[in-house]
Structure 1
Amino acid sequence: MSTPARPRARVLAQLAATILLAGALLAGLMLPFVGGTGMAARNSASLLDALPVELTDKAPAGNTRVLAADGSLITHFYRNNRTPVQPDQIAEVMKRALVDIEDSRFYEHNGLDVQGTLRALVTNVAAGAVREGGSTLTQQLVKQTLVETAATPEERQAATEESLGRKLKEARLALALEETYSKDEILTRYLNIVYFGQGAYGIQAAAQKYFSVNAADLTLPQAAMLAGLVQSPANDDPITNPENAQVRRNQVLQRMFDLGHISEQELTEISPAPVAVQEGVAPANGCVNASIGGFFCAYLQQYLVGELGISQDTLDNGGLTIQTTIRPDMQAAGDQAVLNTLAMGDSLAGMYTAIEPGTGHVLAMSVNRQYGCNDPAVCESVVLNTAHSQGSGSTYKTFVAAAALAEGYSQFFTLTTGDPYVSRVYKDGRAPYDVQNAGNYPATLDMERALYMSSNTYFLALEDALGSVEKPVRMAEAMGMDFVSPPGDQIVEENNGSFTFGPYPTSPLDLAEAYATLAANGTQCDPTPVTAVLDRDGEPLTDDDGKPVVTGDTCTPQAIPPGVASTLNQMLRKDVEPGFSGQTASRAYVPGHQIAGKTGTSQSNFSVAFVGYTPQYAASVMVLNPKENQNVGGFGGGKGATIWNDAMTPILAGQPMVPFAPADPAIQNGNTREVPACSSESDCQSALQAAGLRSTVVAVDSDQPAGTVLGTDPGAGGRAVPEQVVNVLVSNGSAAPAGGAGAIPAGGAGGTPADQAPPPEGALPGGPAGN
C-alpha cells in the first residue's frame, strides 16, 4: 500500500528541517566532527560551564515516604509517581530494548548524533510514520529534566518550545552530560525520569503499573512494550489501547532483531501474542489514601508545611522520608474504640487523641469518620482532633485545682457551699453569678473529693477564694492549652466565673497535651507528629540557613511545679480507680494499672469529654456534633470514659503497671493548718485561735444535751487555711438526730454510696457548663 501523501509530505518537511537544523547545530556548537562517527573534539571547560544544577543530580527524586513509628509505610506524597532505581536494578533486556528503538548508536556517539538523526528520518519517510527517534537519549534526558524541574510556566515553555535556540541548548548540554557521566549512568537516569503513561514515571513505576513486577525482573516482551511506550504513552497504552500496544511492541522487537539483539525464534514466538498486562496498583498518594490514621496524616501534613516550613512542592517532589510518631497499634485500637460506641457516619463524632507524656509525640488520632473522601455521610476533611469547637466542661476544674495548689491551698482545703452557690466575686451581667450542682452533693467537701466528684458549687467557691480567673487561665496555658476564641488575655479580662466549667471552644489535642503535662510531672511538651525528615540522600532535611528542620522535641521542664503535678495525679486517680464514692469516671478503669483522669460535659450537653492518663500515655476523648449543636446524651463518664477504656485496654493489658510519683506533702498540705480537737466551746475557740484560725459557733439539731460540742467543720484533723473560719458545732438540745449542718470531717463520710451510680455530671437546666 502506498504511503498517504499528507503524512509523507509532513515527514519530508521534517527531513528538510532537520538537515537545516543539523547544519545550524554544527555551526552553533562550533565543534569539529571527525569522519562519520560524530565524535566531537573535547572542549569540556566551555561545555561544563553551561551544565545547570538540575542535570548534576544523580537521579530524579522519588516519592516522599511517610513512615509510622515502627517503620511501616503509611502513605506517600508525590506529584509524579516515581521510584528511582540503580543500574543493577533494571533488567539488561530493558536497557537494550530502549536503546535499540530510541537511539541505536547510543554507545557510539557522545551526545549528538547527526548521522543517526538523518538515518532515522530516512527510515521514517520510507515508512510514512515515525519508526525511529531523531534525538539521542542524552538529548531527550536533557529535555525531560528541564521540563520536570521547571519552576515557572516561562521555564516550562522555554524547555518545550520548538526553536533553534532550544535545540542548540539541548545539544550543548547533551555533550556536557556525556563529558560528565558514563553511558550507563545516563541511560539509568533516562529510564528513571521518562514518562510511561498511566501516571507512571520511571521504569520501576512502569514495571509495577503494567506488570506488577520490579524493573529488574522484566522479560523481553514486557521490556519491548515499555520501550515502545516512550514515544506515545497515550496512543500505545496497553490498558486502554491493547492493539496499538501490540503493534508498537512488535516494532521494537523487529528493531532488536534487525540489530542482532534477539533471535528470529524470539521474534516469531512473541509477535503474534497480545500484550499480557497484569495491572498493579499505584502507591498510596496523600492522606486520603493513608493505610492508617488519615486524620493524623492530615495533621502531619499541616504541621510539616505550617510549622516546619516545608513547601508542598518539596513534599510532592523531594523524595523525602518522613519518620512520624504514630503508633499503628494505638491508632488501630483507637479506631475500633470509637466505632464501638459511635457508628461510622453517626451525627455525633467521637475524637480519640493520644500523646506521649514527656515528648509530646502524637500517638494516635481516631474519629468515626473517613478522612477526605466524597461521601458526606461518613467523610470529614477537617481534622476534628485539632479543631476548637465545643467546650470540654469540667475538665477545666483541673486547671483551677492546679492554680489553687500552686497558691498554697491544700488538697484538703474544705468549703461548705449552698446549692445553689452565689458567687461573691463573679457577675452574670449585673447580678452575682450562681451555680447549682446536678444531683445530690455533700454541702462540705475538700478539694480532692470535690474534684473527683466534680462539684460545681465547690469550684465556683474555689474561684472565689482565688479572687479571679487569671491564675487558672495562666496555669492552663502553661500546661499546653491554646485558647483561640476568645484568647486567654480576653478570658482574664472578662473574668467569667464560668471558666472552671470549660465553656470555651477546646481542641482535643490541646486537652491531651495539658493532661500529659501532669503525667510528666510538670514537663510540658509541644505536640509533634514527626521525629525526623530526611532528604533524598537520607540526610536530615535542612532549611535555608542550613539547619535541620527537625531539631527534636520541644519541652519545657517544670512548666508547672512538679509537686503540683504529682499531687494532682494522685487526686485524679480517685476519679477512675475503684473504691472512691462519687467518682465520675469508673468506666475508664483498666484493671492492674494506675490511671488518673477527669470527666467533662459542656453547656446543654452539646459535648462530653474525658481525659485519662498514665505515666506513659495521655489521651483525650471528646464527643460532639461538629456540624450543629446536638444534645450528646449522658456525661463525660459515659461515652467519653468508655471510648478511652476500649482504646487503652489492648495497649495496657500486656504491659506492667507504671506507678505515678507520690504526692508532694508540702503541696498536699499547702499553707493549711491542722484543725485541732477540742471538747468545749471555750476550749475550741482557744485552740482554733492558737492554730491561726478563726471560729464561729453554729447551733445544730441534736439529741445531745444543749451546749455539747459535737465537733468542728472542718473536722478535727482536717486542714484549713490561716484565718479560715471553722464552725464549732454545738447541740441545741433538740430531740432531732445529729447531722443537720453536718460535722463532716474533711474527706470523711457523705456522698453517693459506692453501690449506686455516680451522680450525674453537668449543670441543671439554666446552669453553667458542667463536668
Structure 2
Amino acid sequence: MSTPARTRVLVKLATLIVVAGALVAALALPVVGGAGVVARNSATLLDALPVELTDATPAGNSRVLAADGSLITSFYANNRTVVTSDQIADVMKQALVDIEDSRFYQHNGLDVQGTLRAAVTNVAAGSVQEGGSTLTQQLVKQTLLETADTAEDRQAATEQDIGRKLREARLALALEETYDKDEILTRYLNIVYFGQGAYGIQAAAQKYFSVDAADLTLPQAAMLAGLVQSPANDDPITNPENAQNRRNQVLQRMSDLGHVTEAELAEISGQPVQVAPSPNAPNGCIDATVGGFFCAYVAGYLTGTLGISQEQLDDGGLTIQTTLDAQLQTLGDQAVLTTLPMGDPLAGMFTAIAPGTGHVLAMSVNRQYGCADPQCESVVLNTVASKGAGSTYKVFTAAAALEAGLPASTVISTPGNRYTSRVYTNGSQPYSVENVGNYPDTLDMVGALVRSSNTYFLALEDRLGSVEGPVRMAERMGMNFDQPNQTPADRIIAENRGSFTLGAEATSPLDLANAYATLGAQGTQCDPVPVLQVLDRNGEPLTGDDGRPLVTGDNCTPNSIPANIANTLANILVGDTASPEGTGTRAAIPGHQIAGKTGTSQGRDSVAFVGVMPEYAVSVMVFNPKTQQDVGGYGGNMPATIFRDAMTPYLADKPTAAFPPADPALLGQNQPPPPPAPVDGPAPATGDADGPPANPGTWGGNRGGGGGRGN
C-alpha cells in the first residue's frame, strides 16, 4: 500500500477511535452539563424510538394480481420483496454476520471492540475487509435514510459527524432492547441494497441467481454478503473479477471464524463467480404481463376512487386483488389483433364486464400500453368517451317506451325508409333520418330492434315527446355523460336532441358494456369495479382514515330499471344474433343465448357491437381515435367478429344460462295492435346510418371493404 493511502487509512482509524470514545462516554453519561458535543446530543440519546424503527420496515413492492391470483405487475420505487426469517438461507445470514459484524450475537448494538478490530484489520489489508459499524447501527442508518421525507432528513441520516454516530448508537441500543437478534438481522437483510436495482435479499437472489433467498448456496451467499459494502464496485455482472475477489474475502473470513472448512474455501475460491441473472420484477403498467390498459385503469381507480397515494402504492407492500379474467383478457387481445393489426390507425376496443357485480373482466386494444412507439398508447381507450356508438342507443329508447306504456307490439309505419320528426329539429331545419338498405315500411318494436331501423326509433321518440325518458333511462342503466368531451345529460335533454336514439353522443366502451350488463342482471345496475380487495403488508384489508376498509364490495342498485323491462329487452335482442333478419348474426355462438345490438355512427366513423348473457356483457367498438375515418363496414362486421372470435373459445368450457322469460304484457300479447302512426313524406337524411341485416357469407375481409354490407 502506498504511503498516502496508508496515511488516509490511519487518519480514519484515529477518527474511529475518537468516535468510539465519544460513544462510550455519551452512552455512559447521557446527561451532562456545560457546552460540547455530548451535552448537545444528550437529549437526543434519551428520545424514544422513532416510528420508522418500530414499524416493520420496509414494506416492499405492491403486487397487482388477476382474479386467479397470477401476477399482473408490481408497483415500487425500490425493487424489494420482503421475506421472513425462515425464507432466508442460514448460510446467507452467517456470511453477512461474519463479514459485517462477527460479534453480532455478543454485543448489545454497539461494539467498540469490534469497531477498533475492524479498523486495524482494514488498515493492515489496505482495503475494507470487515465492517466498522454493527449490523444494528447499519440498520438504523439504512432505515432513517429510506424513510427520510426531506433533504434535511436525508442529510442528517448520512452526515459524517459525531452527533449522527451518537444518535445511531443510542437507537441501536434501543433496537436491541426491543427486538431479538434474528428480527434485527432479518430486517437488515430486507432493507440493504445489493446493486442492480435489487433492494433486500430476495430481490438480490432473484436478480443475480434467479433463485429464492431460501435456496442460496454458500458461494452465492458469500458473494451477496460481499456486495453490501460496495455494490457497484463488486457487481458480479459488470465486474466479475472484483466480485470474485470480494467473495473470496468473505469466504476467508468465514473460514477464520470456523464456519467454512478449508476444503470448501479451496474449492470455491478457485472458481469464477457464476451468476444467472434475471430481469427485475415488472414495475408499473408498462411492464404488465397481461392487460396493460386494464392495469392503468386499476391504477387510476386506486389513486382516484380509493384515495391511495402514489407513495403508498409504490412503497406500501400492498396486495391488490383485481377482477381481471386473465383468460378472457388474452383471448380478447388475440381476437382484436386477428381483425386489426397492432398499431393499425383503427383501434379496436374489447371491453368485458360481469352483470350483477360490475366486475371488469377484460380490456383489450390493438395497442401497447405506455411505450413510445407508434403502436403505443397511454390513454385507456376502453374508458374514455371518444366516438358515438350508433344504434346501440336504441335500447335506451325502447326501454323508456316500455316503461311509458308503449308495448313491444307498438306498430309504426315509415314508408320509403325515411322519416321526418314532428318533435325534434336539426337546428332550424326538420330532423330527418333514413335507413341504409330496404326495410319494411311497417314494423313493431321487436322487428325494429332486430333490424335496427333508424326511422322507427326516431318515430318512437316522437311518441315519447321528449328525449328525457331515453336519456334518464341510459343513466339508470349505467351510462355517464360527464367526461370533458361529452355533453352533459341535462343539456342533451334541454336541447331535446332527437339524435340521441341513434347514438351520436361520445361514448365510453366501458359504460356501453355496463349499461347492457343491466339487461343481463335483470335490471340491477352496478358501477364498474376493477378491484376486489386491497390488503396491507400484513395481509389485512387496507383501511382509510376512518378505520374502515377502502374496498367495501360491489356498488349495485337492484331494480334500477324494472326487471320485466330488462328481461323483455334481453329476449328481443337475442334476435339480433339468432334471427336471419338480425344485424349481429356474425356474433352468434352455437349453444349460447346472446342478446346483441349493433351500432354504426354517421359516416361509419365508429362502429360497435354489444353482446350480453346473464354472466357476461361485452362491448366492441372500432374507430380511429385520432381523426375521422370510414371504418369500411358496420357494427355487424368487425365488432361482431371480434366478439365471436374472443367469446367462442372462452365459452367452450363454460355453460351460460338463458335469460328469464319476457313479460307477455310488455310484448303486447293478447292485446289488439294500435294503428300505425301517421308520418311525414320523404325528406333528406341527416341521422345515423345503420346497415341492413348481415349476410355472414358476403363480408369481404378483416377491414370490411369487400362486397358485403352489414350493421
Residues 161-199 of structure 1: CA deviation (Å, up to 9, x unaligned): 223222211111100010011111111111111110011
1:284 to 263, 282, 285: 282
In the alignment, residue 327 of structure 2 is paired with which amino acid? D
Residues 261-312 of structure 1: CA deviation (Å, up to 9, x unaligned): 2222222222222111111232222222222111111111111111111112
In the alignment, residue 392 of structure 2 is paired with which amino acid? T
The answer to whether structure 1 residue 499 and structure 2 residue 500 are counterparts is yes
Residues 705-746 of structure 1: CA deviation (Å, up to 9, x unaligned): xxxxxxxxxxxxx245xxx8699xxxxxxxxxxxxxxxxxxx
Give 2:636's aligned residue: 637
In the alignment, residue 349 of structure 1 is paired with which amino acid? A
* Contact kept? 2:607, 2:621, Cα under 8 Å: yes
In the alignment, residue 231 of structure 1 is paired with which amino acid? Q
In the alignment, residue 619 of structure 2 is paired with which amino acid? S
CA 1:23–1:441: 2 relative to 1, 3 Å: same
Give 1:64's aligned residue: 62
Give 1:664's aligned residue: 663
5 Å-filtered alignment, 1:271-420, equals 271-376=269-374, 378-418=375-415, 419-420=417-418
Structure 1-normalised TM-score? 0.84
The answer to whether structure 1 residue 50 and structure 2 residue 51 are counterparts is no
* Contact kept? 2:435, 2:455, Cα under 8 Å: yes
* Contact kept? 1:99, 1:106, Cα under 8 Å: yes
Q: How far did 1:613 drift? A: 0.5
Give 2:688's aligned residue: none
1:454 to 440, 452, 455: 452
Give 2:141's aligned residue: 143
CA distance in 1, matches of 2:648, 2:302: 32
* Contact kept? 1:352, 1:622, Cα under 8 Å: yes
Q: How far did 1:546 drift? A: 0.7
* Contact kept? 2:437, 2:692, Cα under 8 Å: no
Give 1:18's aligned residue: 16
SS of structure 1 residue aligned to 2:636: helix
CA 1:212–1:391: 2 relative to 1, 3 Å: same
Give 1:533's aligned residue: 534
Q: How far did 1:359 drift? A: 0.2
The alignment of Structure 1 onto Structure 2 pairs a total of residues equal to: 676
In the alignment, residue 7 of structure 1 is paired with which amino acid? A
5 Å-filtered alignment, 1:246-261, equals 246-261=244-259
Structure 2-normalised TM-score? 0.91
In the alignment, residue 390 of structure 2 is paired with which amino acid? G
CA 1:408–1:203: 2 relative to 1, 3 Å: same
Give 2:598's aligned residue: 599
Q: How far did 1:423 drift? A: 1.1
The answer to whether structure 1 residue 134 and structure 2 residue 113 are counterparts is no
Residues 125-165 of structure 1: CA deviation (Å, up to 9, x unaligned): 22232222211000000111111122333322222222322
CA distance in 1, matches of 2:692, 2:583: 11
Q: How far did 1:440 drift? A: 1.0
CA distance in 1, matches of 2:63, 2:167: 35
Q: How far did 1:512 drift? A: 0.2
CA distance in 1, matches of 2:269, 2:144: 36
In the alignment, residue 545 of structure 1 is paired with which amino acid? D
CA distance in 2, matches of 1:633, 1:726: 35
CA 1:373–1:759: 2 relative to 1, 3 Å: closer
Structure with greater Cα Rg: 1
SS of structure 2 residue aligned to 1:223: helix
Give 1:161's aligned residue: 159
Q: How far did 1:47 drift? A: 7.5
SS of structure 2 residue aligned to 1:146: helix
* Contact kept? 2:348, 2:621, Cα under 8 Å: yes
CA distance in 1, matches of 2:699, 2:176: 81
CA distance in 1, matches of 2:638, 2:487: 28
* Contact kept? 2:192, 2:200, Cα under 8 Å: yes
CA 1:426–1:572: 2 relative to 1, 3 Å: same
In the alignment, residue 284 of structure 2 is paired with which amino acid? G
5 Å-filtered alignment, 1:199-238, equals 199-238=197-236
CA 1:21–1:607: 2 relative to 1, 3 Å: same
CA distance in 2, matches of 1:322, 1:86: 21
1:109 to 87, 93, 107: 107
CA distance in 1, matches of 2:213, 2:419: 76
Give 1:487's aligned residue: 488
Q: How far did 1:758 drift? A: 10
* Contact kept? 1:584, 1:758, Cα under 8 Å: no
Q: How far did 1:755 drift? A: 8.0
Structure 2 residues not aligned, in runs of 5+? 31-42, 680-690, 701-709
Give 1:693's aligned residue: none
CA 1:428–1:556: 2 relative to 1, 3 Å: same
* Contact kept? 2:584, 2:694, Cα under 8 Å: no
5 Å-filtered alignment, 1:262-277, equals 262-277=260-275
Residues 550-585 of structure 1: CA deviation (Å, up to 9, x unaligned): 00000001111111111111111111113x43x101
CA distance in 1, matches of 2:692, 2:388: 27
* Contact kept? 1:372, 1:380, Cα under 8 Å: yes
Residues 391-435 of structure 1: CA deviation (Å, up to 9, x unaligned): 111111111111111111110111112443111111111111111
CA distance in 2, matches of 1:69, 1:46: 49
CA distance in 2, matches of 1:544, 1:27: 44
CA distance in 1, matches of 2:564, 2:308: 39
* Contact kept? 1:293, 1:365, Cα under 8 Å: yes
Percent identity reads 69
SS of structure 1 residue aligned to 2:648: helix
CA 1:408–1:213: 2 relative to 1, 3 Å: same
CA 1:566–1:48: 2 relative to 1, 3 Å: farther
* Contact kept? 1:423, 1:433, Cα under 8 Å: yes
Q: How far did 1:89 drift? A: 2.1
Q: How far did 1:27 drift? A: 3.0
CA distance in 2, matches of 1:725, 1:512: 33
CA distance in 1, matches of 2:472, 2:325: 32
Q: How far did 1:10 drift? A: 2.0
* Contact kept? 2:65, 2:321, Cα under 8 Å: yes
In the alignment, residue 546 of structure 1 is paired with which amino acid? G
Q: CA RMSD in A?
A: 2.4
CA distance in 2, matches of 1:423, 1:339: 41
The answer to whether structure 1 residue 610 and structure 2 residue 619 are counterparts is no
CA 1:48–1:526: 2 relative to 1, 3 Å: farther
SS of structure 2 residue aligned to 1:433: strand
Q: How far did 1:667 drift? A: 2.5
* Contact kept? 1:353, 1:364, Cα under 8 Å: yes
Give 1:521's aligned residue: 522
Give 2:35's aligned residue: none
In the alignment, residue 372 of structure 2 is paired with which amino acid? N
Q: How far did 1:49 drift? A: 5.5
Give 1:566's aligned residue: 567
CA 1:92–1:246: 2 relative to 1, 3 Å: same
* Contact kept? 1:669, 1:719, Cα under 8 Å: no
CA distance in 2, matches of 1:329, 1:757: 29
* Contact kept? 1:410, 1:719, Cα under 8 Å: no
CA distance in 2, matches of 1:49, 1:196: 31
* Contact kept? 1:250, 1:271, Cα under 8 Å: yes
CA distance in 1, matches of 2:453, 2:207: 63
Structure 1 residues not aligned, in runs of 5+? 33-44, 676-717, 728-750, 761-769
SS of structure 1 residue aligned to 2:534: strand
